[in-house]
Structure 1
Amino acid sequence: MTDFDASERRIWAGRATAYADSFGKVCAHPVPQLLDAARVREGVRVLDVGTGTGTVAAAACARGARVTGVDAEISMVELAARSVPSAEIHLAELPRLPFSEGLFDAVTANFVLHHVGRPEAALAELRRVVRPGGWIAVTIWAVPAAAGQTLLGRAVEAAGASRPSHLPALAAEDDFPRTGAGLTDLLTSAGLKDAVCEPLHWNHIAGAEEWWRGAADGIGTIGRTVLSQPDHVRAEIERHFLRLSAEFSTPEGQLALPHSALLARGRR
């Protein structure tokens, strides 16, 4: 396990419900396209890696697939198991999965590669557990990020705060460009064939309190950054967040937050 992996385990420990109530909703947007890319349909044996609260697993079950989900965080596993009783949900983490080679027809990983210390090794493991000819589909957040994705970071910056030093970045030798070409090359380097990538763009609709709550509850790196600040700095971050949120306000009093992601697929 890398330092980055260990940090991710600490960041997400016990956060399943808070994630489901906040940022989990925006991560659900690409699920139909993700399942289409992996050719998930009735009877297909599909593995959803980093299943989180089970959103992808539930959608795959609704298509009639035979679904197994895994996650490295026990609170996610427990919530997913309750939410998707028709799927098999297990505690497991990349880059070593407890499955035999070629067991699955398809593998999905929705916004998972951001949370592993060795993305290429993780993809190689996904390739190992899918059958020859089977498809793997993944999503990541695109760089540069869309305006809705940078809102909380802008508030942190405006308050004069910064990412705490105890949160390690991905090692340079393991990182990759978060672009269509960068993600396609990563899949190819992991041994996948016919790798292609497409951009996804959408507006996520959320209340300002809901969006702030994700950060205030410590979800992800941005949440840990907010929680690491003294009380007066957290209050200043929230003040700037509310000010900047006005840029995205809708007539209904919600926020329309632009997001951009990348969806890539390849086959074994």
Structure 2
Amino acid sequence: MPHCWENTADVYVRSFAGLCAGTVDEILRRLGPGDASRRLLDIGTGPGTVAAAAKDSGYAVIGLDSDSSMIALASRRHPGIGFGLASIERLPCRDQTFEAITANFVVNHAPDPRSATRELFRGLRSGGRLVATIWSSQPVSLHQLWNDVMAQAGVSPSSAPRLPAALDFERTPEGFGGMLAEAGFEQVDCRELRWTFEIRPDDLWAAVEAGIAGIGQTFRNQDAAGRERLRAAYRELTAVDRRAGVLKLPSIALVASADRVR
């Protein structure tokens, strides 16, 4: 399934990568220290942020992503780590290969999240640990900013494809944790994580121009006049932040750790 951030790695690093990096410290805390004998798979590695942090913590790391531009960028940024092309739907490994798996904001993008979590369980060894994150269903400041920009510009959001009800799950600690338990994981601990995402206004807007995320797709679907209204609305609504030099956006995600006991 194509995603709206494919072939946008450089702009993604400038913009939304910083947002997704807000979970890294908690991911490492839940993993615990590694050593060279403990193999870790970082699936949906993007620019390799989690993979590099796990390597620094002692793990033997492999990073996989379904987008070739992300893999090329991650390989340039972290030459000491092996990166390759693969998706969460079909891990290129035998059963019970890894002592640890990290999945930072990738399960929520899978076309079948329940099947994806079963695949993560398949790849994890007995005694191994998964640490995964998704976005919460709770509204956050960034979503409100985009809603305000579209309202001021007189633009309706582009409709995003939704998962069939049979495949979907609640973006709550109970919903995400329950799905992991259904896949076979035990000792599931899923909680909210809150942090403040800081970014320069121009860097965040670069993602919109590149068509990244829902707001980027909405922008791309406008005619020239609609795009200019969106630009003007964003400039006006972030005027105070421009003078300060940075946007400060409170953010919320769900972080889960789960073990394969047998």
What range is the shorter-chain TM-score in?
over 0.9
Within a 5 Å distance, the mapping from 1:30-179 to structure 2 comes to 30-43=23-36, 44-165=38-159, 167-179=160-172
Establish whether residue 267 from structure 1 lines up as the match of residue 259 from structure 2: yes
What is the CA-CA distance between 1:36 and the residue it aligns to? 2.1
Classify the secondary structure of the residue corresponding to 2:22: coil
Tell me whether 1:209 sits opposite 2:205 in the alignment. Answer: no
| CA distance in structure 1 between the aligned counterparts of 2:145 and 2:58, rounded to whole angstroms | 38
Report the equivalent of 1:3. none
Residues in 2 aligned to 1:71 and 1:180: alpha-carbon distance in whole angstroms = 25
Mapped to 2, the partners of 1:115 and 1:139 lie a distance apart of 11
Alignment counterpart, residue 187 of structure 1, candidates 180, 186, 189: 180
Residues 1:23 and 2:16 aligned together: yes
Moved more, 36-45 or 207-216: 36-45
Question: Distance in 1 between the 2:151 and 2:126 partners?
Answer: 47
Cα contact 1:40–1:46 (8 A) shared by 2: no
Deviations 1:7-57 (A, max 9, x none): 32xx23211111011111111111121122233522221000000011011
Q: Distance in 2 between matches of 1:237 and 1:15?
A: 21
1:85 Cα deviation after fit: 1.5
Distance across 2 between alignment mates of 1:95 and 1:7:
13
1:89: Cα distance to partner? 0.7
Which one-letter code corresponds to 1:139 in the other structure? T
C-alpha distance 171-158 of structure 1, shift in aligned 2 (>3 A): farther
Aligned: 1:231 with 2:201? no
Query: How many angstroms does 1:197 deviate by?
Result: 1.0
Instruction: Give the C-alpha shift of residue 159 in structure 1.
Output: 2.4
CA contact (8 A) 1:39 1:135 kept: no
Q: Secondary structure at the match of 1:28?
A: helix
CA-atom RMSD in angstroms: 1.8
Contact 2:189 2:256 in 1 (8 A): yes
Q: Does 1:7 align with 2:9?
A: no
- Displacement, 1:157? 3.7
TM-score (norm 1): 0.90
CA contact (8 A) 2:111 2:163 kept: yes
CA-CA distance at 1:251 after TM superposition: 7.2
How many residue pairs get matched? 259
What amino acid maps onto 1:175 in structure 2?
Answer: D
Letter in 1 for 2:53: A
Contact 1:39 1:106 in 2 (8 A): no
2:201–2:242 Cα contact (<8 Å) kept: no
Stretch of structure 1 that moved more, 63-72 or 78-87: 78-87
Find the residue that maps to 1:172 and give its secondary structure.
coil
Letter aligned with residue 32 of structure 1: D
Q: Per-residue deviation at 1:151?
A: 1.2
TM-score (norm 2): 0.92
Which letter maps to 1:254?
V
Q: Specify whether residues 162 and 173 from structure 1 end up closer, same or farther in structure 2 by C-alpha distance, changes over 3 A only.
A: farther
> Structure 1: which 5+ runs fail to align?
1-5
Q: CA deviation at 1:246?
A: 5.0
CA distance in 2, matches of 1:97, 1:123: 11
Separation (CA, whole Å) in 2 of partners of 1:182 and 1:235: 40
Question: For 1:171 and 1:243, how far apart are their aligned partners in 2?
Answer: 38
Structure 2 unaligned blocks of 5 or more = none
- Large movers: runs of 4+ above 4 Å: none
